[in-house]
Amino acid sequence: MPNVLVHRARDLKAQTREALEAELGRSLADDEEVSIMAFLPHAAPTGEARAEAARKLQDHFKRLDQKLQGVAEAEVEEALGEALRNVRPGYRERE
């Protein structure tokens, strides 16, 4: 049995589409893709492993911030929006 399913909304059974729309709290457009994943979660790290993960994440954010020095916030937001639209064809900004 597959662990990941991807379907266009227009190809979903009516009851499946209705259930997904109820969960999402909005209607699906026919050209939107819906992904369903099933997996077993793992326990979150604790103690020193958690602290190390947090340090690594903070270091990563600091490196990103350094690369963005001098770039206007509007330019950053536009670049992020463009990236999202490129990798998520059905992406819509919040209304």
Q: How does pLDDT run across 34-73, given as a tens digit for each residue? A: 999 998 999 999 999 999 999 999 999 999 999 989 999 9
- Please give the average per-residue pLDDT across 5-32, as a whole number: 94
Count of positions (residues) in the chain: 95
Res 52: pLDDT: 97
**Residue position matching structure tokens 């991807």:** 6
Question: Distance (Å, rounded) from C-alpha 48 to C-alpha 73?
Answer: 35
Q: pTM to 2 decimals?
A: 0.47
Residue 11 has pLDDT above 90, yes or no: yes
What the block records as the tokens of 35 is 């992904």
Residue 30 DSSP one-character state: T
**Residue position matching structure tokens 């958690």:** 50
